[in-house]
Structure 1
Amino acid sequence: MVQVEVRPPSRSIGPVSPHTRFTSVLLGTDRRLGSALGRLPGLLVVLAIAAVAVPLGRLVPVVGGPVFGIVLGVLGGLLIPALRAERCRPGYDFAAKNLLQVSIVVLGTGLSLQQVARVGASSLPVMLGTLAIALGGAWLFGRLLGVRGDTQTLIGVGTAICGGSAIAAATAAIGAKRSSVAYALATIFTFNVVAVLTFPPLGHLLGLSPEAFGLWAGTAINDTSSVVAAGYAYSQSAGDQALVVKLTRSLTLVPIVLTLVLLKSRREARTNGASDNRRLPWRKLVPLFLIGFIAAAGLRSAGAVPESWLPALSQTGTFLITSALVAIGLSLRPKELRDAGPRPLLLGAILWVLVAVGSLGLQSFS
Structure 2
Amino acid sequence: MESIFSTDRIGKKTVFILAAAICLLPFVNGLEALLAGFLLVQFTGNPFEKYTHKAIKLFLQISVVGLGFGMNIHEALEAGRQGFLFTVASIFITLIVGLLLGRYFSIQRKTSLLIAAGTAICGGSAIAAVSPVIKANENEMSVSLGTIFILNAIALFIFPVIGHYFNLSQQQFGLWSAIAIHDTSSVVGAAHTYGQEALQIATAVKLERALWIIPVSICAGLLFKNKKAKINIPWFILLFVLAMIISSMFPLLQKPALYISEFAKRCLVLTLFLIGTSLTKDALKHVGAKPLLMGVLLWLFISATSLFVIVQFV
Question: TM over 0.5, yes or no?
Answer: yes
Q: Where does 1:14-53 land on structure 2 (aligned, <5 Å)?
A: 49=16, 52=19
Contact 1:258/1:285 (<8 A) preserved: yes
**Aligned pair partner of 1:155 in 111, 119, 129:** 119
Corresponding residue number in structure 2 for 1:347 = 298
Q: Where does 1:184-263 land on structure 2 (aligned, <5 Å)?
A: 184-191=148-155, 193-203=157-167, 213-221=169-177, 222=181, 223-230=187-194, 239-259=195-215, 261-262=217-218
**Aligned pair partner of 2:74 in 111, 117, 140:** 117
Q: How far has the Cα of 1:263 moved from its partner?
A: 5.3
Contact 1:72/1:329 (<8 A) preserved: no
One-letter code aligned to 1:186: I
**Aligned pair partner of 2:52 in 90, 95, 100:** 95
**Higher Cα Rg, which structure:** 1
Q: How far has the Cα of 1:220 moved from its partner?
A: 0.8
Structure 1 242/194 Cα, relative in aligned 2: closer, same or farther at 3 Å? same
Q: How far has the Cα of 1:356 moved from its partner?
A: 0.9
**Aligned pair partner of 1:144 in 79, 85, 100:** 100
Q: Is 1:308 aligned with 2:308?
A: no
In structure 2, the residue corresponding to 1:348 is in which secondary structure?
A: helix
Contact 1:50/1:326 (<8 A) preserved: no
In structure 1, the residue corresponding to 2:72 is in which secondary structure?
A: helix
Structure 1 145/267 Cα, relative in aligned 2: closer, same or farther at 3 Å? closer
Q: Is 1:294 aligned with 2:238?
A: yes
Distance in 1 between the 2:224 and 2:243 partners? 34
Contact 1:67/1:185 (<8 A) preserved: no
- Measured against aligned partners, the alpha-carbon deviations of 1:333-357 in whole angstroms (never above 9, x if no partner) come to 6143345353321221111011112
Distance in 1 between the 2:10 and 2:113 partners? 29
Corresponding residue number in structure 1 for 2:137 = none
- Measured against aligned partners, the alpha-carbon deviations of 1:43-68 in whole angstroms (never above 9, x if no partner) come to 99789547537857988847364565
One-letter code aligned to 1:294: L
Q: How far has the Cα of 1:69 moved from its partner?
A: 3.8
Structure 1 46/253 Cα, relative in aligned 2: closer, same or farther at 3 Å? farther
Q: TM-score, normalised by structure 2?
A: 0.66
The percent of aligned pairs where both chains have the same amino acid is: 7
Q: How far has the Cα of 1:219 moved from its partner?
A: 0.7
**Aligned pair partner of 2:83 in 112, 119, 127:** 127
Q: Is 1:63 aligned with 2:26?
A: no
Would you say how many aligned residue pairs link Structure 1 and Structure 2?
275
Distance in 2 between the 1:138 and 1:246 partners? 19
Corresponding residue number in structure 2 for 1:32 = none
Q: TM-score, normalised by structure 1?
A: 0.58
Distance in 1 between the 2:77 and 2:243 partners? 22
Distance in 1 between the 2:225 and 2:276 partners? 29
Task: Compare relative contact order (CA 8 Å, sep 6+) and give the higher one, 1 or 2.
Answer: 2
Contact 2:34/2:272 (<8 A) preserved: yes
Distance in 1 between the 2:176 and 2:118 partners? 16
Distance in 2 between the 1:253 and 1:143 partners? 20
Distance in 1 between the 2:127 and 2:276 partners? 11
Contact 2:99/2:113 (<8 A) preserved: no
Structure 1 258/360 Cα, relative in aligned 2: closer, same or farther at 3 Å? same
Corresponding residue number in structure 2 for 1:14 = none
Contact 2:173/2:198 (<8 A) preserved: yes
Corresponding residue number in structure 2 for 1:323 = 274
One-letter code aligned to 1:337: G
Contact 2:30/2:269 (<8 A) preserved: no
One-letter code aligned to 2:31: V
In structure 2, the residue corresponding to 1:285 is in which secondary structure?
A: coil
